[in-house]
Structures are given as structure tokens and as C-alpha cells.
């Protein structure tokens, strides 16, 4: 495989969710899953890839297909799902808090006038 072909494959795999998109099929091919597993860097990267699969059962199957090829010892799928739930609860990740911190003032919803 040439360097250009490897780059194109990496771009395709990292830009396509495991569950697919409107214009792309889901990643279900075993060889693609194995290759993707070898390109995953760490636990955070694995969490992002796994959570791109919307079906919980298929997420587990794809994780089991990738597990032997990961360059590190992965946790269970439940652990990554728990991390994702906790990540969603973190208020610092909400854009409204970032705007509030950046400008040092309260950001009002559209329905509330600024001067109230």
C-alpha cells in the first residue's frame, strides 16, 4: 500500500462514525476494524471511536473485534460508556459556560432580553 492510499484510508476511517452516515456505510468489515484498532492512540481516542456507534449491541461486537489489535490493554465497553455519560454531565464542556467565562458576563438565552 502506498503512503497516499494509507492516508486516504486513515482519513476515511477517522471521519466515518462506526454506525455510518447518510453518505457512508457503517464500518462492519473485520479487516477495516482491525486496521482502525491499530491506529487508535489511547483510551480517550478509543472512547470517541466507540461512542460513534449508536447501537449498543453492535458497539460491543465491534469492540470485541478490535480488542486484540489495540496497542494498549483496553477497559470494558461499559467503562467507556460510563466515561461518555460523565463527560456529558460536565458543565465545563457546555458552550454557554465557555462564553460566560470568556467574556466575564452572563450569556442570556435568545428569548430573554439582554437588559433584564
Per-residue pLDDT of the chain (116 residues; tens, 9 = 90+): 799 998 988 888 888 888 887 778 888 888 989 999 999 999 999 998 998 888 888 899 999 999 999 999 999 999 998 888 887 666 555 555 444 444 555 544 444 444 44
pLDDT of residue 94: 52
Compute the C-alpha angle 13/14/20, nearest 5°.
Answer: 65
- Which pTM does this prediction carry? 0.70
pLDDT of residue 53: 87
pLDDT of residue 67: 95
Amino acid at each position: 500500500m502506498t503512503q497516499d492510499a494509507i492516508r486516504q484510508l486513515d482519513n476515511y476511517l477517522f471521519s466515518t462514525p462506526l454506525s455510518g452516515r447518510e453518505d457512508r456505510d457503517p464500518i462492519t468489515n473485520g479487516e477495516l476494524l482491525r486496521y482502525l484498532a491499530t491506529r487508535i492512540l489511547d483510551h480517550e481516542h478509543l472512547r470517541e471511536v466507540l461512542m460513534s456507534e449508536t447501537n449498543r449491541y453492535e458497539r460491543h461486537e465491534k469492540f470485541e473485534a478490535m480488542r486484540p489489535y489495540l496497542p494498549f490493554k483496553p477497559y470494558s465497553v461499559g467503562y467507556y460508556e460510563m466515561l461518555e455519560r460523565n463527560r456529558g454531565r460536565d458543565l465545563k464542556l457546555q458552550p454557554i459556560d465557555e462564553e460566560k467565562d470568556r467574556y466575564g458576563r452572563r450569556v442570556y438565552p435568545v428569548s430573554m432580553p439582554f437588559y433584564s
